[in-house]
Amino acid sequence: MDSALQGKVVLVSGGSSNLGSAICRAFSAEGAVVVCTWASQGGRLRAEALARELPSCRSQAMDVRSEDSVSGALDEIARTEGRLDVLVNNSGVFTVSPQEELTEEDWDKVFDTNIKGLWRVCRRALPSLRASAPSAIVNIASINAFHPGFGGTAHYDASKGAVVTYTKALAEEVGGDGVRVNAVAPGLLDAPYLRTPGNELGAKYRARAVLGRLVDPSEVASVAVFLAGARSSGIVGQTITVDCGYLLR
């Protein structure tokens, strides 16, 4: 356990998702107070269930595509918790479409969530993070930032490439204020449908990955905790891949 995270307030955007829930659990296990955000009714139900499971976790509405929603969520955190120590930007959208069929609406939806939404939350959270420094931002990128997906994901790949570059730029800008910014780039996350016989995507990933398997969300969550804690105090502006060796080949 990283004692530096005990009692710290951690905001996890998209905390009700598969990966987001793993991140919330990992920080809660470190003794942190976790704010799990959601942007849909289904997300709300999952976040509320997680809050019942984890005594130090609470549910909070926040749609990263809306400036008003982001501001409202950060104001509520300031009112109820009085501080913010760690921001994990996990909200994201993934769609698949060949370039000839990709609509401007789909492109805008992915970028508005994956990079502009991330920027909205960072911009609004920075005053609180500066006030509680040393503090940390952990952005969730993707190995697609470094290697194209299996086709039809150019818009998603480009958005995650932007997350990696933004992470470096923001780290340089706010590091002197005691706010460390880093990112995690997960590979293909394990899910039941990817393990079904005949699932081509899961099979292709396992065949290429050095470890011969998909990535468990808890493995990504543990790196997010590491990057937010005292043990990574000298790491800034970096993106750590968690891909079971997929990019090695």
With a CB cutoff of 8 Å and minimum separation 6, the contacts of 213 are 190, 206, 244
**Terminus-to-terminus CA distance in the chain, angstroms?**
34
**Of 76, 203, 168, 181, residue with least CA distance to 126:** 181
Q: Write out the two tokens for 76.
A: 């509520």
pLDDT, residue 197, reads 87
pLDDT, residue 37, reads 98
Active site residue 166: no
| Residue of 156, 166, 205, 246 with catalytic role | 156
pLDDT, residue 36, reads 98
Domains of the chain by start residue, with CATH: 3-248 (3.40.50.720)
pLDDT, residue 166, reads 98
Q: What is the pLDDT of residues 171-195, one digit of tens each?
A: 999 999 999 999 999 999 999 899 8
Whole-model pTM?
A: 0.97
Task: Tabulate helix, strand, coil % of the chain (nearest 5).
Answer: 50, 15, 35
pLDDT, residue 151, reads 86
Q: What is the pLDDT of residues 214-246, one digit of tens each?
A: 999 999 999 999 999 999 999 999 999 999 999
**Of 165, 136, 161, residue with least CA distance to 228:** 136
Distance between CA 189 and CA 174 in Å, rounded?
31
pLDDT, residue 24, reads 98
Q: Write out the two tokens for 179.
A: 């706010």
Distance between CA 215 and CA 47 in Å, rounded?
22
pLDDT, residue 3, reads 79
**Cβ proximity of 26 and 46 under 8 Å:** no
Residues of the chain with pLDDT under 70: none
Rounded to whole angstroms, the maximal C-alpha distance in the chain is 52
pLDDT, residue 232, reads 98
